[in-house]
Amino acid sequence: MHAEGFFLQAFVYLSAAVVSVPVAKRLGLGSVLGYLLAGIAIGPFGLELIGEEGQDVMHFAEFGVVMMLFLIGLELEPGRLWRLRGPILGLGGLQVGITTLAIAGVALAVGQSWRVALAVGMILALSSTAMVLQTLAEKGLMKTDAGQSAFSVLLFQDIAVIPMLALLPLLAAPGDGAHHGADHAHGHGGHVPWVQTLPPWAETLAVLGAVALVVVGGRFLMRPAFRFIARTGMREIFTAAALLLVIGIALLMAQVGLSPALGTFLAGVVLANSEYRHELEGDVEPFKGLLLGLFFIAVGASVDFRLISESPGSVAAMVAGLVVLKLLVLVGLARVFRMGLDQTLLFAFALAQGGEFAFVLFSFATQNAIFGDEVAAPLIAAVAVSMALTPLLLVLAEKVLLPRVGTKESVARPADEISSDSHNDQRAIIAGFGRFGNIVGRLLRANGVKPTVLDNNSDRVDVLRKLGLEVFYGDATRLDLLHAAGAEEAKLMVVALESQEQNLELVETARKHFPHLTLLVRADDRFDAYRLLDEGVDHVYRETLDTSLAAGVDALCHLGFRRFQATRSANKFRCHDEETLRELAEMRHDRKQYMNHARERIRFLEETLQAEHHDPTERDAGWDVESLREDLGG
């Protein structure tokens, strides 16, 4: 493809996305549906801007799914994954098993052979990871019961693809198995895996070796490597390294015949505990988003409207049958696993479609001569339509069904007991873990609040992590990193970066994109404080104020003052100084001429000291018997 053609294509895809996604979002339909509509519009049955190459684009864009699973892995620490083993194996296993049998039963009933029926059943049991996770994440439903369960099922399905690929060739009609395993169009790659040429024992060894390489390498090699790269301070090289990692693992997995999505997911899980997690998320996220968008466009473009228009009835019946059958199985399972009614509906409607793996598996099955195109083509169309229906079904479930069901939460329990755990949900971010941020962070941790800490000094991050603190590497002024660190859900952010310029930059970014965040900002001195107050920051902390006052109190004590009196005086000084600071911050602008800093400082000192002498309420008169003596003694 030469450059001009490429740019033309890119232009078509990008404009389709840029036009349709905001419109779909605006209509409350979600971005996935927007992409699909864009795909239909520019596809062979719309404006005919893209034709057959749509299939190639889809293969390329499937890499977005790989990246998505890498990102999901990053969010999922090994401990959490382990806790999910029940739902993954139980819920996922049962979903795939029961759905396979149910669909196979229908296929048998319409007169297919048991081989064809079983193959179709397996292939259609899968749901669309890309469609479901993207839609759920966009609706903010990933953390719900339904979201977690859907994720578990999808993860099991991704794993289940591997044995399916092994099983399908065995289902080839007897005497027609010549293609056995040869044309292994596996996963997202589509070329012959090198391991297939090895004897079985070596094949097993190679697979295990590859998995071990990902786990061990991720654990012990990637972190020093990232640290080395981070130290160069070149952002684009870090991004390049992140992409290299994902692509490298995808290639490795394809070589040994495993799903690349599964491999990168594993790498993500291994790196979930690392300090580079948020930086990696920030770097890979935009690529994932674009590729997934491209993927959805390709799905939209691949819907074969000619076939559908030739036999609309039978395709519609297949889509309806597929969706309803899956819904029934999913609802049943959700009830068995004791999900609430609202969660059951969400879970079932989310997963009631065919998946992108079906495209791969159908072509694999035809290559293995299990069935011909006359079976596969309408099914592929049905899967594509069911995928396109998913966002619509979820909108239906959310807007129409759920309001009728209502949440069956227990009725207003007498509000009581702020449980000590409740602080743990209060998310806080600390940007900059130097001498200032780290004291704040330690105090929070000592009180059971686990802040998300960001710091861009890779050596310091390294040391702190060795001490067992959860610190992430990254430049906190970057918007994508703030997103990755959970700034949307966080309640407050402590801004304590190295320089005031960085602090101001971060304050600006945060106020613009996360106006809900309470900002607590470190200031070097009073003039920094002015600038921050000008920016509208309420909580400004001059770094040396309290230490200097502590030294002042000690000085007074050495001069013979009682410690209590000296301390109260320092307290008063502090209150006064804070008030004056705010007054002067405003006054500063009234005086048109710039005053030099020294004069301001002197004026302030005079003001404070004089107030101390003349204002009677400034003394602790309640402890002072002077007036009482005058009154009574007379």
CB of 616 to another protein, least distance (A): 10
Cβ–Cβ contacts within 10 Å for residue 21, how many?
Answer: 22
Smallest gap from Cβ 47 to another protein, in A, equals 59
Q: Residue 497's closest CA among 475, 519, 480?
A: 475
Kindly state the smallest distance separating residue 429's Cβ from another protein, in Å: 22
In sign, the C-alpha dihedral spanning 322, 323, 326, 329 is negative
Which residues are CB-neighbours of 194 under 8 A, at least 6 positions away? 255, 256
Q: How far is the CB of 571 from another protein (least distance, A)?
A: 5
Structure tokens at 177: 């198995």
**What minimum distance in Å lies between the beta carbon of 166 and another protein?**
58
CB of 424 to another protein, least distance (A): 14
Q: Can you tell me the distance from the alpha carbon of 253 to that of 207, in angstroms, rounded to the nearest whole number?
A: 8
Choose between 115 and 423: whose C-beta lies nearer to another protein. Answer: 423
Q: Which is nearer to another protein, 420 or 596 (CB)?
A: 420
> Which DSSP letter does residue 455 get?
E
Q: Which tokens hold the place of 484?
A: 């990755």
Rank residues 137 and 611 by Cβ distance to another protein and give the closer one. Answer: 611
Which amino acid belongs to residue 267? A
- The CA-atom distances, in angstroms, between 532 and each of 258, 436, 541, 585 are 54, 17, 10, 9
Q: Whose Cβ is closer to another protein: residue 178's or residue 418's?
A: 418
In this complex, which beta carbon is closest to another protein, that of residue 403 or of residue 634?
634
| Segment holding 390, helix H or strand E | helix 373-396
Nearer residue to another protein within complex by CB, 403 or 414: 414
d(CA 322, CA 316): 10
* Residue type at position 139: K
Q: Shortest gap between Cβ of 572 and another protein (angstroms)?
A: 8
CB of residue 58 to another protein, shortest distance in Å: 55
**Do 133 and 154 form a contact (C-beta atoms < 8 A)?**
yes
Token pair 């804070």: residue? 578
Between 236 and 417, CB nearer to another protein: 417
Q: Cβ 141 to another protein, closest distance in Å?
A: 32
Strands of 492-495's sheet, edge to edge?
471-473, 452-455, 428-431, 492-495, 518-523, 539-542
* C-beta closer to another protein: residue 56 or 579: 579
Nearer to another protein, 173 or 439 (CB): 439
Smallest gap from Cβ 443 to another protein, in A, equals: 14
How many residues are given for the chain?
634
3-state secondary structure of 127: coil
* Amino acid occupying residue 620: D
Q: How far is the CB of 355 from another protein (least distance, A)?
A: 49
Coil, strand or helix: which one is 556?
helix
Instruction: Give the residues lining the site for another protein (CB under 8 A).
Output: 414-418, 568, 571-572, 575, 617, 620-623, 625, 627-628, 631
Select from 58, 62, 28, 39 the least CA-distant residue to 135.
28
**Is 266 within 8 Å of 214 (Cβ atoms)?**
yes
Residue among 593 and 617 whose Cβ is closer to another protein: 617
- H or E element, residue 521: strand 518-523
**354 close to 126: Cβ distance less than 8 angstroms:** yes
Judge whether 294 and 57 are in contact, CB under 8 Å: yes
- How far apart are alpha carbons 208 and 187 in whole angstroms? 18
CB 486 within 8 A of CB 426: no
In the complex, the smallest distance separating the C-beta of residue 580 from another protein, rounded to whole angstroms, is: 16
Q: Which is nearer to another protein, 312 or 448 (CB)?
A: 448
Q: How far apart are CA 360 and CA 354, in angstroms?
A: 12
Token duo for residue 381: 């169309």
Q: Measured from the CB of residue 603, what is the shortest distance to another protein in angstroms?
A: 24
Question: Any bridge partners for residue 428, and if so which?
Answer: 492
Distance CA 291, CA 443 (A): 42
Extract the tokens encoding 626: 């002077």
Shorter beta-carbon distance to another protein: residue 305 or 541:
541
Nearer to another protein among residue 374 and residue 416 (C-beta)? 416
Rounded to a whole number of angstroms, the minimum distance from the CB of residue 382 to another protein is: 56
Judged by beta carbon, residue 434 or residue 552, the one nearer another protein is: 552
**Mapping DSSP to helix (H, G, I), strand (E, B) and coil, where does residue 48 land?**
coil
